Chain A
Amino acid sequence: MMNLRTLRNCIVALWAICLCAGCVPEPLPIELDEAESLPVVWSQALPGNGAIVYLAKSFTALSYQEGDSTATDELLAQMLVSNGIITISHAGETDTLVEITSGVYAALSMAIVPGDEYQLTATDPVLGKTVRATTTAYGVVPIDSVGYTRIDSATAHVRVHFNDPQGNNYYALHFYSRYTNPLEVDDPLAADNTVVTKLVTDLEFESNQAMFEVELTELDSDTLYVSLNNISPIYFDYLGQRQRGGTIYNQLVQEPINYVTNVQGGYGMFTLHLPSLQMLIMED
């Protein structure tokens, strides 16, 4: 009669044989129709009067993959569209934006009137495609005060007080550490995990004297910049999608999603909002 040790050894040996004989199948190739290259628009209202619009184009999934650091700068340059024609119409007047550097266009004397509607058209001369987008301008919502409670050297409980204007409002609050001063960004491709973005609607406030609370962790400085942005609902949705789709778990197990856009015939987001900014030095 076979004893247990012999039986175990037999099973281990059979496992070894089967593992050695087993094969991993070669992946099957597949050809997919790549997405057509379309214009990409992104915008930012400028303090004072004016706006900046970025014009780029989309590219194929096989051109670049995240983690391919060698391609990034070159790719960025290739994707920006020079000699584009961009106009913004508002209140019966049309401004044609001036290209200030490759792919970046500016309207430096355009009035940003909160609540007014603005129409953008952008043409990529190489692709021969024109996209259109419409947005409402949002004015500055000033930050009344920023309070904090220091929990430890890397953690703080922060409270942002502001007056919530009438109507339905959607807010994005950005919290920057000292080393990512938004006014001194010189490396646009540098990722910094000390920037935290929080999204909130005014439905969560009990009165128009709004207070937003957040616990910030992993702070590497006692200096904090807080930016409050009253944004359009579609941009709010876009940022929400980015946050939800950004976790590793969601990327692994969830269905991928196409991000919302208000650009007809292309991608990106045309939005005109003005941030308010406050600096805070947190003492222990």
Chain B
Amino acid sequence: MRKWTLLLYAAVAMALQVHAQTTISGHIKDAKTGEPIFYATILVPGSGYGATSNEYGYFSLTIPNDYSGDSIKVECTILGYPKMNKTFAKGASYTYEFAMMEQQLELKTIEIVADRGGLSRVNEAQMSAIRIPIKDIRKIPCLGGETDIIKVVQLMPGVQRGGEGGTGMFVRGGTADQNLVLLDEATIYNIGHLFGFFSVFNSDALHDMTMVKGAFPGEYGGRLSSILDIRMKEGNNREFHGSGGIGLLSSRITLEGPIEKDTSSFMIAARRTYIDKVFNAAGLFLPYYFYDVNLKANRWMGPKDRLFFSSYLGQDVLAFNESDVETDEADSTRTSPFGFGFTLGNFSNTLRWNHIYNNKTFSNISFIHTKFNYDIKGNFDNNNILIRSDVRDLGVKVDYDYFKAADHKIKYGGQLTQHLFKPNVVSTSGEIADYLKAREGQRLASYEYALYGSTEKDFRAGLWKINAGMRISGSFVKAASYSGIEPRVSARYMLNEFSSLKLGYSRMKQYMHLVSSSSVALPTDLWYPVTAGIRPQRSDQVVLAYNRWFAKPKLQFEAEAYYKHMDALIEYREGANLILNDNFEKELIQGSGDSYGFEFLVQRSSGRLNGWIAYTLSWATRQFDQLNDGKVFWARYDRRHNFNIVANYTLTKRWDVSAVWEYASGARFTAQVGQYLVPNATFTGVDVIPIYTERNAVSMSPSHRLDINFILKARPNKPKKFKSEWHFGCYNFYNRATPFRIQIRPNDDGTVGYHYEQPGLFGFIPSIAYNFTF
């Protein structure tokens, strides 16, 4: 009896203690647009109690009853906004919305309170994360004047670009398919338009972007090298607005506004390139275009429930028809003209439900559909051929945030996705059907699951912060199943108020791969799951980081060292044919890789002069028993040095200038360095057999390039709803080649013989764009 009494006493005491706590929860939003603000810091100054808003702008901060004072002053800070204060009485629970008013830049009084915002990077346990505000991305000069989020990410440390102008990302020695790109939680399989030269993301439709490349938290998985989490705008829920732009390559328009003020809103954005129309107008013929459409709507269903629907559709279309070309050489005997083309695109839909259970528990459930497909069509006379491949995902994802205390946060959830693959479906008619049989291809279904849990807690009055988690993942496919445990841990130690040391370890597993025989994005690239013969890829990565915030010049300094070991990497056999090959699994081989390096970042996110300087020193190797005689070789994009300067400067009230200077060691190349003659197999001729270096043994010349963009804004003294700005830019200002290969060419100085040379793709390219908002 006595025991039960004690237990009851303890329970009541705990309940009283809980009741005596003060919990403040709610959302942090932009006051003007109603858009949520992610990763804002909410803290009680001088107490050490604080919290961060999640990726829906939700926060919960619990202050224990031993906090001195009758009231609690809470401060909300985020880079780019003045801080906001609110005082609450002790001992109650509050739901409060912080509506942050964005700081308008004035030349004489530029003062964005960024101290606390800058410190949040120092305070958090997360490292190896890249966050760039979308509004900053729009200023940065890009190829053809097209704002491109992927090209900007490539300017950050640890992210190597592939070929010049491409959207391929090679993160910390990984491959291009080791990056999981999520748009409102839906996987986007193909991130490049126009063979990868432009990203599929319309920056006008985007709200926020986070890339994690190491020390992955438990909720992220499925790829080895990085997670790029892109969120679309929700739409202004206060006023109707629009924005758009007319560039040399494409035009775009975005409309957003409330459906019901403060309750529901929408955003729709569309973009289309018109290079086909421009060529047509100039009397030339280019039967290619791309377009994309983003759509998002959301509605508060009550104070605790909110629904979101987002959708993305993007297509690349090449449609060549001989009848479209006016030519004198048209063969009049043909019954129908020659035609060739392809369509390539992504289609994704996400339905999300945010639910607030209580002032400490927040959940999100997402239903996700995504599809990536390509069709290649051709016709000649009465012959028709259609080659189709697609991958379709259906999935559900559940995430819970439990804000247990000011110094303790728990996150858990799970995910189940069905992947359906249909590679190389061939449909033919006419005489060609005798040679190339129609076939359904090999249909494959895989089920990928993950369960995760992580806890983040402060120790010793905030001196230490540890985030520890575990992810259990797996995949079921026909005749095989795989599962694995992915431990994740990161620890932060505060050296002083402005600097911290961090150490992290994470294991990642990847259950699907891109089967591609080229570094260029081709319509024939195939996504393929693990099978009985192809194991999941796995990586183990260790990161050591140092973060420092310099309050006076408002500079963020980050230095990181990493080592990553990768197993079961995918390559194809030498000479493998992947096109129309139903059994291409036989052509795949698996090996290992190592990468290590150092990354440095100095970033200033506010002020008249802002931007960043990034430097990466890195090494990346591969080893496959069947390649390069089993010897270790350099990865294709093993670039020793990568140095980028990105600067935005406000010249006057009307003029801004942005510049990017990029220096990168040359990519690796397998060059021909000799040859010999031998009789051919039938002794009817002579073969010239080339001699190459070892695989990727040659490093091409370093490249460096300067891009500049001038922005002319509307007159600030004429407040109008319609505002416009002109962008005058140039890519590769001093016209230096960025080598993408080594080729042998005849001497051009009149002497007999040959020489090596390294061509580049893009020289000096001016651009002009007109952007507007209303």
Which residues of A approach B to under 8 Å, CB–CB?
7-9, 11-12, 14-18, 21-37, 40, 42, 44, 54, 56-66, 75-76, 79, 172, 174, 176, 180, 182, 185, 188-192, 195, 197, 227, 239-245, 247, 249-250, 253-259, 267-269
B399 shortest CB reach to chain A, Å:
40
Return chain A residues, CB-CB under 8 Å to B701. Answer: 28, 30
Return chain A residues, CB-CB under 8 Å to B767. Answer: 18
Task: Tell me whether A256 and B692 are in contact (CB under 8 A).
Answer: yes
Per-residue interface assignment for chain B, residues 89 to 114, with 1 indicating a CB less than 8 Å from any chain A CB and 0 otherwise: 00000000000000000000000000
Q: List 28 A-B contacts (CB under 8 A).
A: A11-B248, A14-B248, A18-B767, A22-B766, A25-B763, A26-B737, A27-B737, A27-B760, A30-B758, A33-B673, A37-B674, A40-B677, A40-B678, A58-B674, A61-B675, A62-B754, A65-B744, A79-B676, A176-B684, A188-B684, A188-B685, A188-B686, A240-B575, A247-B577, A253-B522, A254-B517, A267-B676, A267-B691
Return chain A residues, CB-CB under 8 Å to B653. Answer: none
Task: Tell me whether A257 and B517 are in contact (CB under 8 A).
Answer: no
Give chain B interface residues in 640-694, CB to chain A under 8 Å: 670-679, 681-693
Q: State which of A16, A35, A250 has its C-beta within 8 Å of the C-beta of B674.
A: A35
| B584 CB within 8 Å of chain A | no
Task: Tell me whether A28 and B757 are in contact (CB under 8 A).
Answer: yes
Per-residue interface assignment for chain B, residues 740 to 774, with 1 indicating a CB less than 8 Å from any chain A CB and 0 otherwise: 00111110000001111111101111111000000
Q: State which of B678, B681, B766 has its C-beta within 8 Å of the C-beta of A174.
A: B681
Task: Tell me whether B732 and A25 are in contact (CB under 8 A).
Answer: yes
Determine the distance from Cα of A182 to Cα of B680 in the docked complex, in whole angstroms: 12
Return chain B residues, CB-CB under 8 Å to A192. Answer: 684-685
| B168 CB within 8 Å of chain A | no
Interface centre among B277, B278, B676, B742 (most CB of A within 10 A): B676
Interface centre among B517, B670, B674, B692 (most CB of A within 10 A): B674
Return chain A residues, CB-CB under 8 Å to B738. Answer: 25
Across chains A and B, the number of contacting residue pairs, with CB separation under 8 Å, is 211
| B392 CB within 8 Å of chain A | no
Task: Tell me whether B577 and A62 are in contact (CB under 8 A).
Answer: no
Task: Tell me whether A8 and B277 are in contact (CB under 8 A).
Answer: yes
Question: Which chain B residue lies CB-closest to A35?
Answer: B674
Given contacts A25-B736, A25-B737, A256-B690, contact A8 B678 (CB under 8 A): no
Question: Which chain B residue lies CB-closest to A37?
Answer: B674
| B85 CB within 8 Å of chain A | no
Question: Which chain B residue lies CB-closest to A246?
Answer: B575
Number of interface residues of B (CB under 8 A): 69
| B56 CB within 8 Å of chain A | no
Determine the distance from Cα of A247 to Cα of B739 in the docked complex, in whole angstroms: 25
Determine the distance from Cα of A56 to Cα of B579 in the docked complex, in whole angstroms: 37
Task: Tell me whether B676 and A40 are in contact (CB under 8 A).
Answer: yes
Determine the distance from Cα of A22 to Cα of B762 in the docked complex, in whole angstroms: 9
Question: Which chain B residue lies CB-closest to A227?
Answer: B682
| B65 CB within 8 Å of chain A | no
Task: Tell me whether A15 and B677 are in contact (CB under 8 A).
Answer: no
B689 shortest CB reach to chain A, Å:
6
Return chain A residues, CB-CB under 8 Å to B744. Answer: 61-62, 65
Task: Tell me whether A241 and B758 are in contact (CB under 8 A).
Answer: no
Determine the distance from Cα of A28 to Cα of B705 in the docked complex, in whole angstroms: 14
Return chain B residues, CB-CB under 8 Å to A180. Answer: 682, 684
Given contacts A16-B282, A18-B767, contact A244 B574 (CB under 8 A): yes
Return chain A residues, CB-CB under 8 Å to B277. Answer: 8
Return chain A residues, CB-CB under 8 Å to B766. Answer: 17-18, 21-22
B277 shortest CB reach to chain A, Å:
7
Task: Tell me whether B678 and A30 are in contact (CB under 8 A).
Answer: no
Task: Tell me whether B735 and A12 are in contact (CB under 8 A).
Answer: no
Task: Tell me whether B671 and A29 are in contact (CB under 8 A).
Answer: no
Return chain A residues, CB-CB under 8 Å to B88. Answer: none
Task: Tell me whether B764 and A23 are in contact (CB under 8 A).
Answer: yes
Q: State which of A15, A18, A61, A197 has its C-beta within 8 Å of the C-beta of B690.
A: A61
Q: State which of A12, A14, A242 has its C-beta within 8 Å of the C-beta of B681.
A: A242
Return chain B residues, CB-CB under 8 Å to A16. Answer: 282
Question: Which chain A residue lies CB-closest to B757?
Answer: A27
Task: Tell me whether A58 and B673 are in contact (CB under 8 A).
Answer: no
A239 shortest CB reach to chain B, Å:
6
Return chain A residues, CB-CB under 8 Å to B679. Answer: 42, 44, 54, 188
Question: Which chain A residue lies CB-closest to B575?
Answer: A244
| B274 CB within 8 Å of chain A | yes
Return chain A residues, CB-CB under 8 Å to B745. Answer: 27
Given contacts A28-B701, A29-B756, A250-B575, contact A15 B282 (CB under 8 A): yes
Task: Tell me whether B758 and A257 are in contact (CB under 8 A).
Answer: no
Return chain A residues, CB-CB under 8 Å to B579. Answer: 249
Interface centre among B673, B698, B732, B742 (most CB of A within 10 A): B673
Determine the distance from Cα of A174 to Cα of B682 in the docked complex, in whole angstroms: 7
Task: Tell me whether A257 and B742 are in contact (CB under 8 A).
Answer: no
Return chain B residues, CB-CB under 8 Å to A188. Answer: 679, 683-686
Question: Which chain B residue lies CB-closest to A180?
Answer: B684
Q: State which of A25, A32, A182 has its C-beta within 8 Å of the C-beta of B671.
A: A32
Determine the distance from Cα of A259 to Cα of B575 in the docked complex, in whole angstroms: 11
Interface centre among A21, A64, A255 (most CB of B within 10 A): A255
Given contacts A15-B282, A62-B754, A241-B574, contact A191 B673 (CB under 8 A): no
| B576 CB within 8 Å of chain A | yes
Return chain B residues, CB-CB under 8 Å to A15. Answer: 248, 278, 282
Return chain A residues, CB-CB under 8 Å to B520. Answer: 253
A195 shortest CB reach to chain B, Å:
5
Determine the distance from Cα of A40 to Cα of B678 in the docked complex, in whole angstroms: 8
Return chain B residues, CB-CB under 8 Å to A195. Answer: 682, 684
Task: Tell me whether A258 and B691 are in contact (CB under 8 A).
Answer: yes
Return chain A residues, CB-CB under 8 Å to B700. Answer: 30
